[in-house]
Amino acid sequence: MNELPGSNLEVLLDAETIAGRVRELAAQISADYRGRPLRLVGILKGAWVFLADLARHLDLEVTVDFLSIASYGNNSYSSGAVRITKDLDQSIKGLDVLIVEDILDTGQTFEYLRGVLEAHKPKSLKLVTLLDKPSRRVRPVRADYVGFTIPDVFVAGYGLDYAQQYRHLPDVRIWRAT
C-alpha cells in the first residue's frame, strides 16, 4: 500500500490542537464584534480550511467573501510581488471586515492587501491569521488575532501548500528539503 502524501513530514500542530485554538479565536472574535455583522474576507488559496472552521464557530451575523491572490514564482517563501487573480464579489464599504489568512510571514502580502482593501472604505479592517512567523517580518505589520506563533520553518497542511500539495492535510506539518 502507498503511504499517504505528507506522512513522512513531522507534525508541528496536530488537528486537535488546531481545533481547540480555532474555537478560542472564534470566542474572542465573537465577543469583540458582539452585536455587529462581520464580513470575513478569506485570502485564497491558503485560508480556505481555516476560514471554514473559524466561521462555523462564530456566534455572529457573518457573511463571507474571498479574494484570490498569487505570488509571482513558485518558491517556498513568498517574494512579496503579489497580484489579484479574483477580486471581491461584494462591496465592503462601511462594513466591519476581518481578513482571514493562513500565515503572516514577511508581511508583504498583508501590507499590500491592507492598502487595497482600505481604499474600499470599510468601517473597520482587522486581520486574523492562523500562523504567525514574526522572525521573518520585513514589513511593520501585525495581526489582530493570531492562532499560533511559529519558528522559521516551512509548513504545509491545513490549507498551506508546498508547490500546491498537502493543502488537504488535517494538521500543520514541517516540510524540509531532502
Q: Which positions touch ligand PRP (CB under 6 A)? A: 43, 45-46, 71, 78, 101-110, 161
Residue 128: exposed, middle, or buried by beta-carbon count in 10 A (0-12, 13-18, 19+)?
A: buried
Quick one: 60 or 113, whose CB is closer to ligand PRP? 113
Q: Longest Cα pair distance anywhere in the chain, in angstroms?
A: 54
Quick one: 53 or 105, whose CB is closer to ligand PRP? 105
Quick one: 60 or 157, whose CB is closer to ligand PRP? 157
Residues 27 and 99: their CA atoms lie apart, in Å, by 17
- Kindly state the smallest distance separating residue 79's Cβ from ligand PRP, in Å: 8
Nearest CA to 159 out of 30, 75, 42 is that of: 42
| Active-site residue set | 105
Q: From the CB of residue 126, how many other CB atoms can be counted at a distance below 10 Å?
A: 16
Residues 120 and 142: their CA atoms lie apart, in Å, by 21
- Kindly state the smallest distance separating residue 20's Cβ from ligand PRP, in Å: 22
